[in-house]
Structure 1
Amino acid sequence: MDDLSKSDMKFFSDQQHCFADILLPHEVQARIQVVVLNFLKILSSPDPAISDLPLINRKSSNSRVSEGILTDVSWIFLSHSFCSRSLMKANATKAFIRDICFLWKVMEMCFEILIQDKRVTQRELFYKLLCDSPHYFSSQLQVNRTIQELCAKDVVALLRCSRYSLGIMASRKGLVAGRILLQEPNQEAVDCSACGSSGYAISGDLNLLESLSTKTDARYIVVVEKHAIFQRLAEDNVFNQIPSILLTAKGYPDIATRFLLHRMSRAFPDLPILALVDWNPARLAILSTYKFGSIGMGLEAYRYACNVKWLGLRGDDLQLIPQQSLAPLKPRDLQIARSLISSTILRDNYRQELAVMMQSGQGAEIEALYFNGYDYLVKYLAKKIVQANYI
């Protein structure tokens, strides 16, 4: 056991860039065992005390932006700074202590999943946790929060391995349409231009996404924030007029959608990746997640970051829509705007756009372009792309 501890405790070693490893099941099991053994060792000591759990600090003060060498891609990363979770603090609340118990319970369930060589979705783990440990939870909302916070963040931060390595895969959420052929191993190729407005559903199995064979004659990849806009563009066969691949996560991007986008950026490095989002701070945050990753998942951000350009909507597009279609920014939008302004990730031209939003106190939705006709959106995209009007 001593050899096991020495060999696997290296993931707690000092590094400037902290990241989550992609590990084999037995390697994750070994890391869980090390954490448990250290915990038991402390409890069996002459003066037992429950030590702090060494979690990587996921606050913005511990985040940095890495500028890629020989690449245009930048990404958020977390530096080597630990925060502590302890049961022994005088001001520790019952909820805080309960969260620590949840952390151990989630690790236990992940260990069982890996032993059985299985993968489960977050939703499946949700029901497993609810049914196996009903006395731990007062509501389904509490279970869901536990899965979101502890699986995606605390367990990853403690074990320094990716969420997928824990045996947890994303549910199907994202869609692809347009001029790309996708072929799973031992399966027929899928022509995504023939999938209609429903598109091709992106699997939550990252190993499967990595093994996809891809072919395309597209010249652009267009990331569409909204599902409804994606459906309209796919229905209008925009990819036949603008040789392109359409991709959407139906809002905030999940890991699988970001993974596939990154996979396509590696397979087709010459294709510009252009984002079509609403003009408001929350949607700029979505674009930034595709482009840089997020602080909450800073240990894995470098695996999914892409050089995404902002196609629209932008401030100079407001002349194309009527004034009455502008919507006042919500308090949540202003909070996100202040957070983005205070961060180090935004380029100057993005900051200028954000400053205009905050100064005007208004935002605009993509659908406002329909004021010019239901076929105007395709014309808008074509003109912006031909003129290379993206930042």
Structure 2
Amino acid sequence: MQDVLTRIENIILGIVTSLSKDEAPVLALPNRSSWANVSLRCCSVLHVAFIYIHSQILKILLVIYRLVQSNSYATKRDIYYNNTQLFGSQKTVDGIVDDISCMLKVPRRSLHVFATSKGLISGDLCYIEEDGTRIDCHSSSAAVAVSSNIDGIRNIVSCAKFVLIVEKDATFQRLLDDDFCTKLSPCIIITGKGVPDVNSRLMVRKLWDTLHIPIFALVDADPHGIEIMCIYKYGSVAMSFEAHSLTVPSVMWLGLLPSDLQRLRVPADALIPLTSTDENKLTSLLKRPYLTSQPDWQKEMELMQQTKVKAEIQSLAAIAPDYLTSIYLPNKLRYGGWV
């Protein structure tokens, strides 16, 4: 805690010093927009950009200082509504908080600023929240919202054999409806409802660190789904400075694989042609430095380039309505159909 306060105090001291010399104060912020600026060995940002100090940054630094000093917490939404006129949009606050976290070289949770979770979790899992609330995720009819304070979770109890990351909420709800977590074997399913928020990523990492069980990803066979899976496994460029605590290097691609589309003879009318945006995204993904260590993933993505088609997980319903939960996933998990 004191370390964060000292770092903020040093920034303010630098601003005051600049002003005393009639100089415009500037901050050195790491560039969080390019993979070229990320070292995969240590997941650290290499290049910096210099920006002029403005009132929005100073205001948020002040809020963070007070939160840390008083050992209290706030959400990014709280900060925005504290002065909507100054910030203009929630997106502005979100970006500045992440910039400050990166600049101070501390995880965002060390700033005592949380984001409201959007993820859901269900399955063979119980734990205690920081405030003492006992959370039971066993219900087959309703999921539990991912906690906003993953660090505060304790007493995790589970007999799960694996964790399944599900890209889409619709697929997640289908697994819930089919009571997937108990029919096959005890497991945990979690979704970030598309591109995952930090709390969903932290939760997957927490489960991996605590339970030491396999982590699988179930995503659409399209460039967007692949990128979401890569965020869980390797991190996002914008949050690369925090990758060591947000990523799970052991994540395995369970499906939907491009090779599955041919192997299972998914009907042609359930396949979707790649758009030019898809093709550009695929080319960009294949150039990511981390994919050199994943030849099987590269082969699947190159197959997608060759066939020029993509498919949603729901396309399996064209084979049979319950094919996903009754045949596809059980066979994949029993016989090792992942890469």
Scaled by the length of structure 2, the TM-score of the pair is: 0.90
State how far apart, in whole Å, the 1-side matches of 2:107 and 2:64 are: 12
Which segments of 5 or more consecutive residues in structure 2 lack a partner in the other structure?
none
| Alpha-carbon separation, structure 2, partners of 1:249 and 1:85 | 33
1:198-219: per-residue Cα shift (whole Å, max 9, x none)? 312111113323xx21222221
- Within a 5 Å distance, the mapping from 1:46-195 to structure 2 comes to 48-50=22-24, 52-58=26-32, 59-66=34-41, 77-79=43-45, 81-87=46-52, 100-130=54-84, 134=85, 136=86, 142-152=88-98, 154-184=99-129, 187=132, 189-194=134-139
* Partners of 2:285 and 2:174 in 1: CA distance: 30
Q: 1:108 to 1:358 in 2, by over 3 A?
A: farther
Please point out which of 196, 200, 210 is paired with 1:267. 210
Q: Which residue of 1 aligns with 2:299?
A: 352
Residue 239 of structure 1 and its aligned partner are, at CA, apart by 1.6
Query: Alpha carbons of 1:37 and 1:208: their partners in 2 closer, same or farther (altered >3 Å)?
Result: same
The residue aligned with 2:258 is: 315
| Cα distance in structure 1, aligned partners of 2:273 and 2:36 | 30
Q: Tell me the alpha carbon deviations over residues 235-281 of structure 1, each in whole angstroms, 9 at most, x when there is no partner.
A: 21112222211111111111111111111111111x21110000111
Which letter maps to 1:144?
Answer: Q
Q: Distance in 1 between the 2:305 and 2:237 partners?
A: 23
1:364 is matched with 311
Of all paired residues, the percent bearing the same amino acid is 29
Contact 1:164 1:206 in 2 (8 A): no
Q: SS of 1:352's equivalent?
A: helix
**Structure 1 position 188, deviation (Å):** 6.6
Deviation at 1:225, TM superposition (A): 0.8
Q: What amino acid is the match of 1:33?
A: E
Q: What residue identity is the alignment partner of 1:388?
A: G
- Name the count of aligned residue pairs: 331
Aligned to 2:14: 38
Residue 150 (structure 1) shift: 1.3
Comparing 54-63 with 364-373, greater Cα deviation is found at: 54-63
Q: Is the 8 A contact 1:50 1:86 kept in 2?
A: no
Let me know the Cα RMSD of the aligned residues.
2.1
Q: Secondary structure of the equivalent of 2:66?
A: helix
Q: Distance in 2 between matches of 1:302 and 1:188?
A: 28
Give the equivalent residue in structure 1 for 2:144: 200
Native 8 Å contact 1:78 1:295 kept in 2: no
8 Å Cα contact 1:174-1:247 kept in structure 2? yes
Q: Secondary structure at the match of 2:83?
A: helix
Q: What residue number does 1:229 align with?
A: 171
The CA distance in 1 between the partners of 2:297 and 2:31, in whole Å, is 27
| Amino acid across the alignment from 1:145 | K
Shift in CA distance, 36/189, structure 1 to aligned 2, threshold 3 Å: closer
Shift of the 265–249 alpha-carbon distance from structure 1 to 2, 3 Å rule, reads same
Q: Distance in 1 between matches of 2:60 and 2:129?
A: 31
**Greater length-normalized contact order (CA 8 Å, ≥ 6 residues apart):** 1
SS of corresponding position for 1:155: helix
For 2:290 and 2:51, locate their aligned partners in 1 and report how far apart those are by CA, in whole Å.
32
What is the match of residue 375 of structure 1?
A: 322
Matches of 1:330 and 1:101, distance apart in 2: 42
Q: Match for 1:240 among 182, 197, 205?
A: 182
Moved over 6 A (4+): none
Letter in 1 for 2:65: F
Q: 1:204 to 1:191 in 2, by over 3 A?
A: closer
Once the two structures are superposed, residues 90-125 of structure 1 have per-residue CA deviations (whole angstroms, 9 ceiling, x without a partner) of xxxxxxx7xx44322321222233344321122222
1:296 to 238, 242, 247: 238
